[in-house]
Structure 1
């Protein structure tokens, strides 16, 4: 069963970070403006940081499949934790900053996004704990379940703001 948890975490990390990176690649300068609104830095530095985030997400999405998965899951957990910190910091800003986690959005970056990223980090830690070189290949049913659950996790992660809007009274 632990082999399925590792596979789930790997699929979830890959899916979330690929979707996030690709959505940012559609408008890197716009993402750079968001970075600049989060921290008072020159626009060229903000654009460089925006590219760094995109590259880190793409790197993470690939590295989770390297070896036994531990390096990538560790990187995914650290990246998710760092992004959670940025989201929580955004709640203290005097002017709301739109969430650009998965492309253009009008929803303000805030606690909901921080909690989402901490949940992702916790799932990466769970996958990391169960990963190992001596891990058996999961049975076909376990593989299907892990991939399907990760796909649902990616969809919920990407559309969290839309789901929260639907749930509002």
Structure 2
């Protein structure tokens, strides 16, 4: 029993991080956040999608009407910046910090909208009729956690092909679950 307790010690975890074992967690975090932020750009793929996104920001009633359009543009530019900083070498931590900042704002927005009882469709990834609710809060909080983990662990170095494949499969599965979480929950909801 003592060996099992010691195997999970902070010192061992720090040693594994030094040896590169955590780099795969960083890689998976990076791939998942990039996937989510690329998918989020769907809100700008057409004029109609962009106007729907702007309307959803207006319906949140969290920014003054004069700041609705600037907020929409800032969100889209921020999402593009996150993707590029996470893809380009040497900017990973900055990309994760930007992603975490944006995800914290998205989480608070979803939480306030839910607590205020507003039935505003989430247009985070383009067209959607599903109103923001607790599922969106949990999704955004989970993504925030992933971004914070990504910032904390290394995601560059010597990789083995098998580890990269497993990391990318995990990130792809996580991205799909996060993108369709509200749909999955509503599908199995008893309401």
TM-score, normalising length from structure 2?
0.80
The question of 1:114 aligning with 2:134 is answered no
The question of 1:148 aligning with 2:164 is answered no
Match of 2:5 in 1: none
Secondary structure of residue in 1 paired with 2:132: coil
Give 1:136 deviation, angstroms: 2.6
Q: How many residues align?
A: 166
Stretch deviating more after TM superposition (62-71 or 145-154) = 62-71
Secondary structure of residue in 2 paired with 1:82: helix
Counterparts of 2:117 and 2:166, CA distance in 1:
44
User: 1:68·1:131 contact (CA, 8 Å) conserved in 2?
Assistant: no
Gaps of 5+ in 1: none
Give 1:68 deviation, angstroms: 5.6
Matches within 5 A, 1:1-169: 1-26=21-46, 27-39=49-61, 41-42=64-65, 45-66=67-88, 67=90, 69-131=92-154, 135-169=156-190
Structure number with greater Rg is: 2
Give 1:166 deviation, angstroms: 2.2
Distance 1:25 1:89, change over 3 A: farther
What CA RMSD, in Å, does the superposition of the two structures yield over aligned residues?
1.7
CA deviations over 1:62-119 (Å, ceiling 9, x no partner): 1113316111111111111110010001013343111111112111112211111111
CA deviations over 1:8-30 (Å, ceiling 9, x no partner): 11111111001111234331111
Gaps of 5+ in 2: 1-20
Counterparts of 2:146 and 2:70, CA distance in 1:
29
Counterparts of 2:154 and 2:37, CA distance in 1:
20
TM-score, normalising length from structure 1?
0.90
User: 1:99·1:109 contact (CA, 8 Å) conserved in 2?
Assistant: yes
Counterparts of 1:38 and 1:95, CA distance in 2:
7
Distance 1:130 1:94, change over 3 A: closer
